[in-house]
Chains A and B, each alone.
Chain A
Amino acid sequence: MLRELKGDLAAGASAEERVASLFEKIKKSKLNAYNILSEDSALKRAREFDKAPWGGLMAGVPIAIKSSISTRGIETNCSSRILSGYVPPYDAHVIDQLKEEGAIIIGKTNMDEFAMGTSTETSYFGPTRNPWDTDRVPGGSSGGSAAAVAAGEAPCALGSDTGGSIRCPASFCGIVGLKPTYGLVSRYGLVSYANSLEQIGPLTANVEDAALVMEVIAGHDPQDSTSVNSDGGYISGLGDGVEGLVCGVPKEYFGEGVDPLVEKAVWDAISKLVELGASWKEVSLPHTKYALAAYYIIAMSEASSNLARFDGLRYGLRLGTDQDWHTTFSEIRAAGFGSEVKRRILLGTYALSAGYYGRYYLKALKVRTLIKQDFERVLAAGGADILVTPTMPFPAFKIGERIEDPLSLYMADVFTVPINLAGVPAISVPCGFAGGLPIGLQIIGRHFDEIGVLRTAKAYEDATPYHEAVPKEVV
């Protein structure tokens, strides 16, 4: 898709027209995929491009950015009331990279408040709707980015993935979403939810586009001490196929709680990979059952600390009822955060408290090590080259169906959070439909083997039609 778009632009198509038609579509849309549109700056940049086209991997390509990624001069509110009106004075590293490669930022997409959710229903600005069925959620937390790409309201988007926040909405919306290896993409400028787990990654219409975005955003950034070098090669490795590839199928990712239609679609995908020259074998990741508990303790603990800075003193919400600082901070935080964010701050604060730290946080870190070792063991030389699982246990659910039951929502992340705990890369690609709703196939690789993940996904995509399907209502 991006290849065609770039080809059109290079052949003289007007970037301004393309960008303007996107805004037209977005404004008519009922999906609520965007919080903020940067129409003036995007059109201006598109006009400049038309006048004197520049080069770069993303030359003239419009892109939507999740509302948790800082953009200089464009409001970055994390879909929270407390950050409404906050305009960063600096660009995230990935934004620097995108601009350098010629991309045009069209707006900031809706998300679960501070990325805390699996449905984009916790946004202060209302839920985003799934383009395949507007009564249903798009997944989350990068639901706005996924819905925008699925509905053609953006050719590609950035999201962030702390426990599945790119892969879940990619799966629910029938598009491609990649969570890179921890450290491959700089987090500088990503408003932290759980620093030790999250990565920025692409949400795109196909695998090649995901590889292209990765070429742009991956690599060491001196502003992020946890980031590492990238050798690139994501695009050039795409055509290498899956001949001789060993696919591990973790038994813990099938069975109870998984929609049979999802299971069937994933097994069909495994058969397809075998047809293409790969083999498969069952593997075991025995600590999977502890992953959700460990994940939520770590994520909430880090979040309780990360979100403490939002007090209205320097930026964000101010109520105009200033008293002593203590009262004022409390009132602003009480009014500024939604209930899911408050729940996670409270639980995280509790887990880090004196006397509980060892029982919860330290124990969760130990579980995390065990889970990481699970992955390293099955993906060691002589074992599997990649793992294949469902991305989500079920397709998109109805808006309001689960929001009152946080535990059942947390359970939805069961196949995505272990990947963040282990730090390995994983992609979700469309692999079929259940009752007209997209199903996602999750392909997991070794640390820093994005190339292996992408080429497997590409081989599968080339052999199947699912990525070409477009939601009816938006055709």
Chain B
Amino acid sequence: MAEKDVIIGLEVHVQLNKLNSKLFCGCSTDYHDSPPNTHTCPVCLGLPGTLPVVNKRAVEYAIRVALALNCDIQGETLFYRKNYYYPDLPKAFQITQYDFPLGLGGHILIKGEDGEEKTIRITRVHMEEDPGRLVHAGTIDRAKYSMVDYNRCGMPLLEVVTEPDLRSPKEARSFLDKLRNILEYLDVFDGNLEGAMRIDSNISLVGGERAEVKNISSHKGVEKALAYEITRQRSARRRGVAQVQETRHYDELRSITVSIRTKEEAHDYRYFPEPDLVPMRIADWVPRVEAELPELPDAKRERFVAEYGIADDHAKSLTSEIRVANFYEDVAKRAPPRLAAVWIADVLKGELNYRDVTIDKFSPDHMVEILGMLEKRTITEKGAVEVIRIILDTGGDPSEVVEAGGLAKAEDDAVKEAVFAAVAECSQAVADYRSGNEKAINFIVGMVMKKTRGRADPGEANRLVKEALEEI
């Protein structure tokens, strides 16, 4: 529920994991299934004497995102050093941006708590390098030692910072879903890879100091952590305990947040411009990147309505994920677009969601085939749903599934036979119908459906029963 006194702002770290190489060296970004410390080199290990060189493609990707988030791209951008000690940070500073970030002052639209579209302002978008990763022997509090894996070190990250425009955990979730959607549209990001998106949330109640909940990696986690924080801050306020500015950790297992440091203990990162990199005049790059920008979700949604004549709700649902949108367009070229929209948005997406699988699990060819059967009325709607379920659960292609499952619509003769049998068996219902009770026909049609195990078309059965009753 949107509550007027809740103020939420997000800092989202996005791995540009569709790039081939890291931000400042030539190491491959494809490390997710590799043994530790196999995707490293002198540069990303920060060996003495090594120097960073900016991956130009990463900057292009970052500009792409900043443009899609409606930011102003700055004429000149530069990197800074953020100095702090931690074993996963081999140079003891992170190369990031500070003053003169890549993009400033953007916004995106999300579905607000009241169901209306709502503008969320983006403060800034900037580039930085990812640190490595600590691997603990056992759990973090009991580990005798930890190991460091530098495979992730130097991965290109984007940080997207919002203004405090979000009013509920649900809106925060909605923002994150939309952001992910845009990033996938831009083809710069694969949200399914581990650690692809990590979120810091700032949350406060009006009049109170804010808590920053650090490093949550799922959208659901953010929603839960924020809900917990609202409850915690409210109850503290009721007890007269003032919220202090602090950093908190979200404990995913227990779904609670725990304070890790207060403002007094905050780090002084001693930012200063990275002397090993020169300022980049990116203003000149913008026209080219802009020209290559793909169609974004909102634009695609409008086009689907106009081009395929489908309902706006369906268009929205179909464009909420780039893979679904591409799937739909593929199918709509080979099947009636409106029928396709209904079956993909209302049926297929629900079945995928129920199984927690992506649309990659279903072939557009199969969808075209199923829609064709529906159009030719060789299967019923119920049968079509069954076919989709069986393909998702056990595989196979539609014609096989229909045959093996006896899901083909019953032949007219078989339906007629069932109608005669039903009329003969249900003498009471027949009598009721004749004496003027039209509803009695439903009982007879039900019997037909039962006899055909649902393979009869209900409308067709109704018509045949009526005919039979008239003939008698």
Interfacial residues, chain A to chain B (CB-CB below 8 A): 68-70, 76, 78, 83, 86, 88-90, 92, 187-192, 194-196, 222-226, 301-302, 304-305, 308-311, 313-315, 325-326, 329, 349, 352-354, 357, 361
Could you tell me the distance in whole angstroms from the C-beta of A296 to the nearest C-beta in chain B? 15
Which residues from B are CB-within-8-Å of A304? Answer: 83, 270
Q: How far is the CA of A49 from the CA of B83 in the complex (A)?
A: 47
Q: Is the CB of A314 within 8 A of B48?
A: no
Q: How far is the CA of A225 from the CA of B273 in the complex (A)?
A: 14
Q: How far is the CA of A189 from the CA of B42 in the complex (A)?
A: 10
Does B272 lie at the interface of the complex (its beta carbon under 8 Å from any beta carbon of A)? yes
Q: Is the CB of B268 within 8 A of A308?
A: no
Which residues from A are CB-within-8-Å of B272? Answer: 301-302, 305, 352, 357, 361
Interfacial residues, chain B to chain A (CB-CB below 8 A): 42, 45-54, 81, 83, 85, 87, 90-93, 146, 148, 268, 270-272, 275-278
User: Taking chain B's interface residues, is the majority helix, strand, or loop, or is none over half, making it mixed?
Assistant: loop
Q: Number of contacts between A and B (CB, 8 Å)?
A: 103
Which residues from A are CB-within-8-Å of B276? Answer: 187, 192, 195, 224-226
Q: How far is the CA of A222 from the CA of B47 in the complex (A)?
A: 18
Q: List 28 A-B contacts (CB under 8 A).
A: A76-B48, A78-B48, A89-B47, A90-B42, A90-B47, A188-B50, A192-B48, A192-B49, A194-B275, A222-B53, A223-B51, A225-B52, A225-B54, A225-B277, A225-B278, A226-B275, A304-B83, A305-B270, A308-B83, A308-B93, A309-B91, A309-B92, A310-B48, A313-B90, A314-B47, A354-B270, A357-B271, A361-B272
Which residues from A are CB-within-8-Å of B87? Answer: 313, 325
Q: Is the CB of A315 within 8 A of B49?
A: no
A224's nearest neighbour on chain B, judged by CB, is B51
Task: Tell whether A308 pairs with B50 under 8 Å between CB atoms, given A195-B275, A361-B272.
Answer: no
Q: How far is the CA of A92 from the CA of B269 in the complex (A)?
A: 30
Which residues from B are CB-within-8-Å of A225? Answer: 51-54, 276-278
Task: Tell whether A92 pairs with B90 under 8 Å between CB atoms, given A195-B276, A225-B278.
Answer: no
Could you tell me the distance in whole angstroms from the C-beta of A343 to the nearest C-beta in chain B? 17
Q: Closest 8 interchain pairs by CB?
A: A308-B92, A352-B270, A196-B275, A195-B275, A191-B48, A189-B49, A70-B49, A191-B49
Which residues from B are CB-within-8-Å of A313? Answer: 87, 90, 148
B145's nearest neighbour on chain A, judged by CB, is A322
Could you tell me the distance in whole angstroms from the C-beta of B21 to the nearest C-beta in chain A? 13
Could you tell me the distance in whole angstroms from the C-beta of A98 to the nearest C-beta in chain B? 15
Task: Tell whether A190 pairs with B83 under 8 Å between CB atoms, given A195-B275, A305-B272, A311-B92.
Answer: no
Q: Is the CB of B268 within 8 A of A190?
A: no
B278's nearest neighbour on chain A, judged by CB, is A225
Q: How far is the CA of A314 from the CA of B92 in the complex (A)?
A: 12
Task: Tell whether A223 pairs with B47 under 8 Å between CB atoms, given A305-B81, A309-B91, A329-B85.
Answer: no
The answer, among A70, A189, A357, for a CB contact under 8 Å with B270, is: A357
Could you tell me the distance in whole angstroms from the C-beta of A21 to the nearest C-beta in chain B? 31
Most buried by B among A70, A78, A187, A225: A225
Task: Tell whether A311 pairs with B51 under 8 Å between CB atoms, given A89-B42, A225-B278.
Answer: no
Q: How far is the CA of A69 from the CA of B45 in the complex (A)?
A: 17
Known: A92-B49, A302-B272, A354-B270. 8 other contacts (CB 8 A): A76-B48, A90-B50, A190-B49, A191-B49, A194-B275, A224-B276, A304-B83, A305-B270
User: Taking chain A's interface residues, is the majority helix, strand, or loop, or is none over half, making it mixed?
Assistant: loop
Which residues from A are CB-within-8-Å of B46? Answer: 309
Which residues from B are CB-within-8-Å of A361? Answer: 272
B270's nearest neighbour on chain A, judged by CB, is A352
Which residues from B are CB-within-8-Å of A92? Answer: 49
Which residues from A are CB-within-8-Å of B52? Answer: 225
Which residues from B are CB-within-8-Å of A88? Answer: 42, 47-49
Which residues from A are CB-within-8-Å of B81? Answer: 305
Q: How far is the CA of A188 from the CA of B41 in the complex (A)?
A: 14
Q: How far is the CA of A329 from the CA of B148 in the complex (A)?
A: 15
Q: Is the CB of A354 within 8 A of B47?
A: no
Q: Is the CB of B53 within 8 A of A223?
A: yes
B83's nearest neighbour on chain A, judged by CB, is A305
Which residues from A are CB-within-8-Å of B275? Answer: 194-196, 226, 302
Q: How far is the CA of A349 from the CA of B148 in the complex (A)?
A: 26
Q: How far is the CA of A353 from the CA of B268 in the complex (A)?
A: 7
Q: How far is the CA of A189 from the CA of B51 in the complex (A)?
A: 8
Which residues from B are CB-within-8-Å of A325? Answer: 87, 146
Q: How far is the CA of A76 from the CA of B92 in the complex (A)?
A: 20
The answer, among B51, B53, B83, B146, for a CB contact under 8 Å with A352, is: B83
Could you tell me the distance in whole angstroms from the C-beta of A414 to the nearest C-beta in chain B? 23
Q: How far is the CA of A313 from the CA of B37 in the complex (A)?
A: 14
Q: Is the CB of B85 within 8 A of A308?
A: yes
Q: How far is the CA of A212 from the CA of B148 in the complex (A)?
A: 45
B86's nearest neighbour on chain A, judged by CB, is A325
Task: Tell whether A314 pairs with B45 under 8 Å between CB atoms, given A188-B50, A226-B276, A308-B85.
Answer: yes
Task: Tell whether A305 pairs with B93 under 8 Å between CB atoms, given A223-B53, A325-B87.
Answer: yes
Which residues from A are CB-within-8-Å of B277? Answer: 225-226
Q: Is the CB of A188 within 8 A of B49?
A: yes
Which residues from A are CB-within-8-Å of B148? Answer: 313
Q: How far is the CA of A190 from the CA of B87 in the complex (A)?
A: 23
Q: How far is the CA of A195 from the CA of B276 in the complex (A)?
A: 7
Q: Is the CB of B48 within 8 A of A70?
A: yes
Which residues from B are CB-within-8-Å of A305? Answer: 81, 83, 92-93, 270, 272
Which residues from A are CB-within-8-Å of B42? Answer: 88-90
Q: How far is the CA of A90 from the CA of B93 in the complex (A)?
A: 22
Could you tell me the distance in whole angstroms from the C-beta of B340 to the nearest C-beta in chain A? 51
Which residues from B are CB-within-8-Å of A314? Answer: 45, 47, 90
A114's nearest neighbour on chain B, judged by CB, is B48
Q: Is the CB of B51 within 8 A of A188?
A: yes
B276's nearest neighbour on chain A, judged by CB, is A195
Which residues from A are CB-within-8-Å of B85? Answer: 308, 311, 326, 329
Q: How far is the CA of A308 from the CA of B85 in the complex (A)?
A: 8
Q: Is the CB of B268 within 8 A of A309?
A: no
A328's nearest neighbour on chain B, judged by CB, is B87
Q: Is the CB of A315 within 8 A of B91?
A: no
Which residues from B are CB-within-8-Å of A349? Answer: 270
B277's nearest neighbour on chain A, judged by CB, is A225
Q: How far is the CA of A92 from the CA of B148 in the complex (A)?
A: 26
B267's nearest neighbour on chain A, judged by CB, is A354
